[in-house]
Amino acid sequence: MVVRGAAAPTPGSKSLAQPQIDETAHVHSFSNLIGDVKVGANVLIAPGTSIRADEGSPFYIGAGSKIQDGVVIHGLEQGRVVGDDQKHYSVWVGENTCLTHMVLIHGPAYVGNNCFIGFRSTVFNARIGDGCIVMMHALIQDVAVPPGKFVPSGAVITSQQQADRLPDVQDNDRRFAAYMVGLNDAMRAGYHNADQISRIMPIRQQLERSFHGDPAAESSARLSDPSSPSSSTSSSMQNTRLAPEIVDYVRQLLSQGLSVGVEYADKRRFQTSSWHSCGSIQSNRDSDVLNALEQCVAEHSGEYVRVFGIDPRAKRRVSEVIVQRPDGSGMRGATASKAAPTSYSSSSYGSSSYSAPSSQPSYGGSYSGSSQLSPEVIEKVHQFINQGFKIGTEHADARRFQTSSWQSCSPIQTNRPAEAIAALESCLAEHTGEYVRLFGIDPKAKRRISEMIVQRPGDKANGASAPSNGYTPAPQSSSYSHSNGSYGAASATGSGRLNADVVNQVRQLLAQGYRVAAEHADARRFQTSSWKSCAPIQSTRDSEVIAALESCLAENSGEYVRLVGVDTKSKRRVAEVIVQRP
């Protein structure tokens, strides 16, 4: 029996072409295929994979290839490679190629026949010839790897000279790859067992229900095994009153091993973020969880209802989404976008804008329009609290700002986002016309981990204009833009001279014992966060460091340049500030 399956399509993907999947292919029901994806004969796609042709397309996966657990295949809207059929593709994966666990293939990319890509390796804007073996944690970008080459573990191949010097594949390398491929062949055979079939749903039936709501297909699935999780899942998908985004959100939480909770609040309690629990949901079956969520919504009509994920190990929340509001909205996905100001368009949720169940901050419902703070500031508060940090605020007038003599606002003792944001707004209101900055405090290490200026003397009250008046966030693609980056400085004027805010930031970093470095990137590399280092800055004298920064600006005029603070003891970055834009 052919085994095929797929997760529900992401919101906004209904207008995309549907995947073309060969009858002999095996696609697990916990995988996600979207858009113009052609899957060849005898392809194996394991659980947890995400193959999304919703930006760059089309994709091609050749016959006999294996796509293991957690693989992500995506593509940029621009850029194509030429496949073996001489047609243009965003991503081409050849025949009998194995993409192992957690591999990322981001188009434009070409992977030839009989290749092996090792665990957690990344291929972007690159071409890999036939018969290549790429080991673990490798990065291949902006190059063409000749056929039959071996890429060692941890290698970073970003120049053609590096690619041309790679060694040839040896027999022991082929034996290792063959061993891993053999394990997947055994996995494929296991999918034919009767006890496995009840866990997997034919992909075309599920896609038809997802896109068109075909009751006949649903009835057929229930008759085949009325007690199977697939059957109950199908039923809940067809009959639920919840928005498809919310249904998909709940399933994503459960698929990641998280528990699900539901809370409600009337208008008064909503303003104070005093939510009541709808009762504990013990089941991890999506149909049971969705039924409990619908029951809470029905019992508390005219009130706010929100659903959230719970990490049972860390015993903390990882995400919150409002699914109902007093005016009746929220059941069609409208509130999800309000609950999460940032749209994670690069996640597995396609164009949905609700908060994903990950390490990203959750945006509880009380900031959906009542706060005047910018989304970046609210996001930063959530990051601090979700990571277990305390929050501090300081203010300084123009004179104290020049000497970095900040004064503390009232201490913020709470770990509730609503109360922390209220305290921050109170500090802003009390010190209108002054600089105000927000920072995180690691209570264990007893040190600051990031600083962010949220108000400047010319800004409106409550920091509403902070992002446009000197706050320069690091790009979303930066690996530090949501973790430990410090955003407190404005950009350079474009003349190669640093402005006063940047100079002040440099002096603060040096005064705290940090080193200063600089990086640059053109527009293309900026989009992929592929920064290049400027000349190393060895000095700790502020005048010499500033001169080195201005030299980097002058040498890379017309590019992005960012300032980096480095803690030499812990060997990590403590700040990233863009000081020049094209």
Binding-site residues for Zn(2+), please?
74, 101, 106
Q: Provide the residue type at 254 as one letter.
A: L
Mapped onto helix, strand or coil, the DSSP state of residue 334 is: helix
**Contacts of residue 216, Cβ cutoff 8 Å, sequence gap at least 6:** none
- HSE value, Cβ hemisphere, 13 Å, CA-based, for 532: 16
Is 55 in the active site? yes
- CA pair distance 533, 555, nearest whole angstrom: 12
Sign of CA dihedral 383, 385, 389, 392: positive
Provide the sign of the torsion angle of the four alpha carbons 148, 151, 156, 161, taken in this order.
Answer: negative
Q: Is 308 helix (H, G, I), strand (E, B) or coil?
A: strand
Q: Can you tell me which residue has the tokens 């070409």? A: 110
Look at residues 528, 527, 500, 496 and name the one whose alpha carbon lies nearest to residue 518: 496
- Tokens 């396609």 label which residue? 350
From the candidates 23, 55, 430, 559, give the one annotated as an active-site residue: 55
User: How far is residue 75's CA from residue 298's CA, in Å, rounded to a whole number?
Assistant: 41
What CA–CA distance (Å, rounded) separates 450 from 488?
9
For residue 380, the tally of other CB atoms under 10 A from its CB is 25
3-state secondary structure 224-291: HCCCCHHHHHHHHHHHCCCCHHHHHHHHHHHHCCCEEEEEEECHHHHHCCCCEECCCCCCCCHHHHHH
**CB-based burial label for 208 (10 Å; 0-12, 13-18, 19+):** middle
Q: d(Cα 226, Cα 481) in Å, to the nearest integer?
A: 48
Cα–Cα distance, 426 to 433 (Å, whole number): 14
376 and 471 in contact (C-beta within 8 Å)? yes
Distance CA 36, CA 16 (A): 7
Q: CA 390, CA 440: separation in Å to the nearest integer?
A: 6
Q: Which amino acid is at 448?
A: R
Supply φ then ψ for residue 123, to 5 degrees. Answer: -125, 120
User: Is residue 258 left, alpha or beta, with left meaning phi > 0 and alpha meaning psi from -120 to 50?
Assistant: beta
Radius of gyration of the chain (CA): 26
Residues annotated as catalytic (active site), given as ranges? 55
